[in-house]
Amino acid sequence: MPKSSRGPVSRESNSGLRIGLILGTGLYNLYARNILKKETIETDYGSAELSEVAFDSRGRNATIYLLLRHGATHSLPPHLINYRANLAAFVAKKTDLIIATSSVGAIDPKIPVGSYVVIDQFIDQTTRRAATMFGTVGECFTHTDMTNPYSKRIRKVLISSLNRNKVKNVITRGTYVCTEGPRFETPAEIAMYRKFGGDVVGMTGVPEVVLANELGIPYATLCFVTNRAAGMQDKISNEEVLLAMKNHEGRIKTIIDNAMEELITSN
């Protein structure tokens, strides 16, 4: 990516806050009725589909750009998602920050199914993904700091929204283990990740968070626990995950809406 596209994203004057929203498994229709227009963004890494979403921000100027991580029909498995094109598309639209969602399994036995986890750390267990925007020999690059990979400001707003909506099971910190997928993990792997200090497990959070940090875009993920990880229940199925997300999609939308409203009004 050209050097001019890296670093913190600056807004055009009077354009208002530009929020990127990345929706994961089971949430493809969350804003289907609010879409104003769809656009294919061509980047150095391929194309990405963004939708501009109508959002009532109490008279405040704001633009919401929506990306469906797995595609509208859930046709992109985790290891084939073009994460670099997705993030480059947000840069092209001068996005100020990104809120992402993720369905996860609980590694920590103290985290019940149905919990919301606002993660603050990750462990990368992926193996075959293009994991950086730096990819040309001789290109100037930086070693990106990952001390706080998830935006403290966005995390604080997500936690505030969860509390505002009186959600009972809220975990305000947690370590997300990202595996390659698309298969679920084995019980032996989960036991190892627990020893590593993992709290929840998913398949898409990396390199998404890494790329956002390299590009200087504040980013945070709201995780919803759909199941206990392998070895902690009899079996895991796609149907179980999708049903859990469907049953909670209304509340998840309210939580995200409230978070975006707070970000816009405090901007």
Joined together, the tokens standing for residue 189 give: 């792997």
The identity of residue 27, as a single letter, is L
Q: What angle do CA 61, 214, 60 make, to 5 degrees?
A: 5
Backbone phi, psi, residue 204, to 5°:
-130, -10
- The per-residue pLDDT for 75 is 87
Superfamily of domain 11-265: Nucleoside phosphorylase domain (3.40.50.1580)
pLDDT at residue 1 is higher than 60: no
pTM of the model: 0.93
What one-letter code names the amino acid at 189? E
Tell me the per-residue pLDDT of 152-176, one tens digit each, with 9 for 90 and over.
Answer: 999 999 999 999 999 999 999 999 9
Average pLDDT over residues 185-206: 98
Q: What per-residue confidence (pLDDT) applies to 88?
A: 97
**Where do we find the tokens 């109490």?**
58
- Tens digits of residue pLDDT in 201-232: 999 999 999 999 999 999 999 999 999 999 99
CA distance 255 to 155: 12
Mean pLDDT of the chain: 92
**CA 95 – CA 158 distance, rounded (Å):** 18
On the question of pLDDT at 142 being above 80, the answer is yes
Percent of the chain with pLDDT over 70: 93
Phi, psi of 161 (to 5 degrees): -65, -40
pLDDT at 60 over 90: no
How far apart are the C-alpha atoms of 245 and 190, rounded to whole Å?
22
Confidence of residue 138 (pLDDT cuts 50, 70, 90): low
